[in-house]
Amino acid sequence: MNEYAVRVAAQLRQRYAHEPEYLQSVQTWLEMIDPALDDPRYEKLDLLTRMVEPDRMFMFLVPWVDDKGVAHTNHGYRVQFNSAIGPYKGGLRFHPGVTPSVVKFLGFEQTYKNALTGLPIGGAAGGADFDPRGKSNREIMRFCQSFMNALYRYIGSDTDVPAGDIGVGAREIGFLYGQYKRLMSKAESSALTGKGLTYGGSKIRQEAAGFGTVYFLARMLEHQKDPIEGKTIAVSGFGNMTWGVCRKATELGAKVVTLSGPDGYIYDPSGVSTQEKFDFLLEMRAKGQDRVSLYADRFGVPFFPGKKPWEVAVDVVIPCATQNELDVEDAVHILANDVRYYVEGSNMPATTEALKLLRLSPKILTAGAKASGSGGVAVSALEMAQNSIRYNWTPAEVDQKLRDIMSSIYDASAAAAEEYGLGYDLIAGNDIAAFKKISEAMIAQGL
């Protein structure tokens, strides 16, 4: 590895020894962009340090009262990572596992994910260690309002534009936006994205994360001259991204045969491929129990408690749940089952060792979340554009733009991989193309 990169990595390990997810995402990225580091300007300007550390990070307490009158105090975060290309932009995650390390890894990945959308957005992330499970609607509203009471001073349509992530969907964005509007006394719609369709949201935003991932997969299949029709897909999770993947895969003639939750996974050999099943995913989420076994009860398919879906023999694997959900044992299963495509939906779904196994195996083609998972944020940027021109595109128009954006991300990744002699390594190709774009923007804007 490049000497300067080795020093930057060592410094980071020393300074943030207690932040494993953040170190993991930076370390992997440094390895991926290594072939492109042969430029003396980078060290001269200490560019890598400025790229792997966030510009700033806010931490705040989020006090709220539950329905029984009991007080709770959660920890809220917003990390503004990089604004070389545009205003800070990224999701908010409400999950008990949210820590400064998780928020920083998400913000880091978001910066490089956003860069290749071709739209003017920088990178950010945020959230809170709040567990939405089993909370009433009123509790969620009060929590969101308290969260915004702290966050509002740091965000804005030209500053930092939050959106959803795990635990933050259209309902939460509605409560957050309502409070922002009250505090600011103005309807600044593009200060948040993922809004409802009645107050400035974009068509296809909910679908975008999953649709984008399948569009990316479709380009990989096209490259292999391998038809998408009839392909079986294993996915994890049953949230927003999974829902979109099931729908678009069905439309293109493929079928998703697994779903998972913290309780285990289900196997549906006929596919999660009817309107009734798509709607049931939304129902399961609205119930707020976080259990996928409900699907097995409803449709009479097998449920495997405590297991992960990666043991099922399929053509394509798309992790859609959360970071490090796929370990070495899972990667070994995937390779033993002769799975041919590994396409990341969720951010950093594989552990370092698992990713290495998959990437280096000639048996399987791999795509990283910073490319294949960028559909959601791409439509977020389209939502900002629509808000500023006070206009709404039709679903077909947004879908076509999303498709074009995913295609250009694919093209840029494949081209960079080829340019640096990396063959068809779409993960490294994407990281290199995004790195080049952001570094040029940073250099142009001075220290």
User: Does residue number 122 form part of the binding site for ligand GLU (CB under 6 A)?
Assistant: no
Q: How far apart are CA 140 and CA 124, in angstroms?
A: 23
**Binder among 163, 228, 292, 434 for ligand GLU (CB under 6 A):** 163
**Nearest residue to the partner ligand GLU, using Cβ:** 91
| 218 versus 378: smaller Cβ distance to ligand GLU | 378
382 binds ligand GLU (CB under 6 A): no
- The answer to whether residues 179 and 339 touch, using CB atoms and an 8 Å cutoff, is no
Q: Which stretch binds ligand GLU (CB under 6 A): 89-97, 298-306, 317-325, 332-340?
A: 89-97
C-beta of 216: minimal distance to ligand GLU in Å?
13
Q: Distance (Å, rounded) from C-alpha 349 to C-alpha 45?
A: 32
Per-residue x/- mask for ligand GLU, residues 173 to 212, rule CB under 6 A?
A: --------------------x-------------------
Q: What is the largest CA-CA distance in the chain?
A: 62
The yes or no reply on residue 376 touching ligand GLU (CB under 6 A) is yes
The minimum distance between CB 181 and ligand GLU, in angstroms, equals 19
Nearer to ligand GLU, 168 or 314 (CB): 168
Q: Does 242 bind ligand GLU (CB under 6 A)?
A: no
Stretch that binds ligand GLU, among 9-17, 18-26, 372-380, 427-435 (CB under 6 A): 372-380
Q: Which of 380, 386, 430, 439 binds ligand GLU (CB under 6 A)?
A: 380
Residue 232: CB minimum distance to ligand GLU, A: 26
Q: Name the minimum Å distance from CB 33 to ligand GLU.
A: 20
**Distance (Å, whole) CA 364 – CA 137:** 44
| β-strand partners of 123 | 82
Question: Is 237 or 376 the residue whose CB approaches ligand GLU more closely?
Answer: 376
| Among the residue ranges 83-91, 310-318, 331-339, 411-419, the one whose residues contact ligand GLU (CB under 6 A) | 83-91
| Rounded Cα distance, 207 and 244, in Å | 5
Binding test (CB under 6 A) with ligand GLU, winner from 78, 89, 104, 248: 89
Closer residue to ligand GLU, CB minimum distance, 165 or 263: 165
For the beta sheet containing 160-163, the strands, ordered from the edge strand earlier in sequence to the opposite edge, are 56-65, 71-82, 123-128, 88-94, 160-163
Residue (23 or 241) nearer to ligand GLU, CB: 241
Binding residues for ligand GLU (CB under 6 A): 89-91, 163, 165, 193, 376-377, 380
